[in-house]
């Protein structure tokens, strides 16, 4: 699986591009703030054509560029419980954060809802751009947080990390940590259940591509992540 990843201009949100190979259709996962130019460069270099945009959840740092990336032609896939966030994710932001955005980028934040939003649910299987992804609902960080799982791994990773599958974990699981539950829509008890019932059952040779920070593996997180130790 061809995989490209780069951080957004704000909040260090990881944007991922997945494809079966160069010159093929691709999936864009979590297009955050200020990623458009970087994404264009990746698509041009690898000769890729976006087929859909996948959103692990509806926070602004993961969805800000979804509408320009979709361009009125691509579907934006999000869990039904986070669908409401795409109506105006700026509305829930602290005014101080909006001011910081304007100061950093020299313009006020704006939002236009995607024209083609496709709701997904737990257990959904997506067949897109030649890839098959499973959807696992993992609420806690937001009501509609999900994991996207694939039976493939990025090119060149198998031998280095001894992994056989991949999961895009959004802000549910990070290397050595987990997503916050103190933001609107967060729920500590729900996060604990998601970690116990969705994350911990993932096989050890699973590569974890998180919403922020470096990649990791379930083997590593099961043995070292303090938030998984007592579940």
Rounded-to-integer distance, Cα 111 and Cα 91, Å: 10
Can you give the length of the chain in residues? 231
Rounded-to-integer distance, Cα 86 and Cα 100, Å: 21
Tokens of 194: 């998601």
pLDDT digits (tens, 9 = 90+) for 56-90: 999 999 999 999 999 989 999 999 999 999 998 77
pLDDT confidence band for 98 (50 / 70 / 90): low
pLDDT exceeds cutoff 70 at 207: yes
**Per-residue confidence (pLDDT) for residue 99, from 0 to 100:** 66
Between 118 and 94, where is the model more confident? 118
**Per-residue confidence (pLDDT) for residue 100, from 0 to 100:** 67
Tokens of 33: 């703030």
Measure Cα distances from 106 to 26, 65, 96, 163, 204 in Å. 31, 17, 15, 43, 45
pLDDT digits (tens, 9 = 90+) for 162-196: 899 999 999 999 999 999 999 889 999 999 999 99
pTM: 0.94
């Amino acid at each position: 699986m061809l995989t490209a990843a780069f951080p957004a201009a704000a909040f260090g949100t990881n944007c991922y591009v997945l494809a079966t190979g160069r010159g093929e259709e691709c999936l864009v996962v979590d297009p955050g703030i200020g990623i458009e130019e970087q994404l264009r460069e990746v698509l041009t270099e690898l000769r890729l054509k976006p087929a859909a945009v996948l959103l692990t959840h509806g926070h602004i740092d993961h969805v800000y560029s979804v509408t320009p990336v979709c361009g009125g032609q691509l579907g934006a896939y999000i869990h039904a419980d986070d669908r409401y966030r795409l109506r105006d994710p700026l509305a829930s932001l602290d005014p101080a954060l909006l001011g910081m955005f304007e100061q950093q980028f020299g313009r006020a934040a704006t939002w236009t809802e995607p024209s083609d939003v496709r709701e997904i649910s737990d257990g959904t299987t997506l067949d897109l751009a030649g890839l098959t992804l499973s959807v696992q609902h993992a609420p806690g960080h937001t009501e509609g947080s999900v994991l996207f799982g694939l039976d493939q791994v990025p090119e060149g990773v198998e031998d280095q990390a001894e992994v056989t599958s991949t999961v895009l974990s959004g802000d549910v699981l990070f290397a050595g940590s987990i997503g916050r539950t103190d933001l609107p829509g967060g729920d500590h008890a729900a996060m604990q259940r998601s970690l116990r019932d969705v994350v911990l059952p993932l096989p050890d040779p699973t590569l974890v591509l998180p919403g922020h920070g470096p990649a990791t593996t379930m083997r590593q997180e099961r043995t070292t992540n303090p938030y998984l130790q007592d579940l």
